[in-house]
Amino acid sequence: MKFQKLGMRTIKTGIVVSLTLLISDLLNLDSPFFAAIAAVIALQASVSESLTMSKNRMLGTILGGIIALLFTYFVPSNILTIGIGIIIIIHICNILGWQKAIQLATMVFLSILMNYEEGSRLGYALDRTLATLVGLVVGTVFNYLVVPPASKHQEYIEESLSKIYSEFKRAVENLIWQKKYYPLENLKDLLNELEAEYEILKKDTKLAVIKDNSYLNFERAFNSLERIYYHLSTILAMDKIPALDENNRKAMKKFFNKEVPEEEERKDNLSIIYNYHIGKIMDEFNFINKIKAEA
């Protein structure tokens, strides 16, 4: 059986739970369980996501506490009214765009409504709400101060860049050696997904205490891939595939390390435009290889 190494996220979660329980004890909170649960939920893989979501979750927690308190005063507690309360909380969170807060808001609501005692409902509600808020704050702050060396976004970007780069190389090989056009629709979708992940990584890097500027290389490579897509799209719009000029033949042979079929070169407009875009694609390939060598 292969031993799996502990990940940074796993270690962070254990530390955050212990820290949250310690702070709950120092604050004499009666509900450390809810603080610990909230801290775990606050630990998002992305720092920027954690900051945004935790704000909404804090507001959702307060909402759940307020509605629960109102129910204890004005609504008889039974199976039906509890279900109605859950519906109200979920609906309000959806209206306000707090979808990520629904889990904690309903948890706070249920914990108050199903466990309070007459005469101490206000104190009980405040304690449950405060404990949950403490957990959210601890989890969010810890996630901000202790950033994993490689987030899921960074790993995804590295894999996607390599995959798209390989697909573009295959597209050029099909074009030159098989005289076939390579469909680019899936590659465009991958580029769009990659751009979204890159934006999150950039936000994470700007928020991080310890800066990692690897995202700058990702940006250069991504922009280069975008330019390759543009040049290939232009070529795919052509009615036929012209012959390579001498410079591009040499560049192809050197880059792909194999002989390029010889063809009669023409000097018409289509050939000039085609070879211009091929030349630009080869420049971008070499540029990406340079970035990879520097990384």
How high is the pLDDT of residue 160? 81
C-alpha to C-alpha distance for 197 and 225, rounded to whole angstroms: 15
Residue whose C-alpha is closest to residue 90's, from 101, 79, 74: 101
Identify the domain boundary among 98, 114, 145. 145
Q: Is the pLDDT of residue 214 over 70?
A: no
The DSSP symbol for 6 reads P
Identify the domain boundary among 91, 120, 145. 145
Place of tokens 């997904």: 193
Instruction: Give pTM, 2 decimals.
Output: 0.56
Q: What values do phi and psi take at 94, rounded to 5?
A: -65, -40
pLDDT category of residue 134 using cuts at 50, 70 and 90: very high
Q: Which structure tokens are listed for 219?
A: 């940006």
Looking at the fold, whether 125 and 95 belong to one and the same domain comes out as yes
Place of tokens 């329980």: 21
How high is the pLDDT of residue 54? 77
User: Is 2 inside a domain boundary?
Assistant: no
How high is the pLDDT of residue 153? 61
Looking at the fold, whether 175 and 241 belong to one and the same domain comes out as yes
For 48, the domain range is 8-145
Looking at the fold, whether 107 and 66 belong to one and the same domain comes out as yes
How high is the pLDDT of residue 26? 93
Identify the domain boundary among 114, 145, 176. 145
First to last CA, the chain: 34
Looking at the fold, whether 70 and 195 belong to one and the same domain comes out as no
User: Is 73 inside a domain boundary?
Assistant: yes
225-279 tens-digit pLDDT: 999 999 999 998 888 888 899 899 999 999 999 888 888 777 888 999 999 999 9
pLDDT category of residue 3 using cuts at 50, 70 and 90: low
55-112 tens-digit pLDDT: 888 888 999 999 999 998 888 888 999 999 999 999 999 999 888 889 889 999 998 8
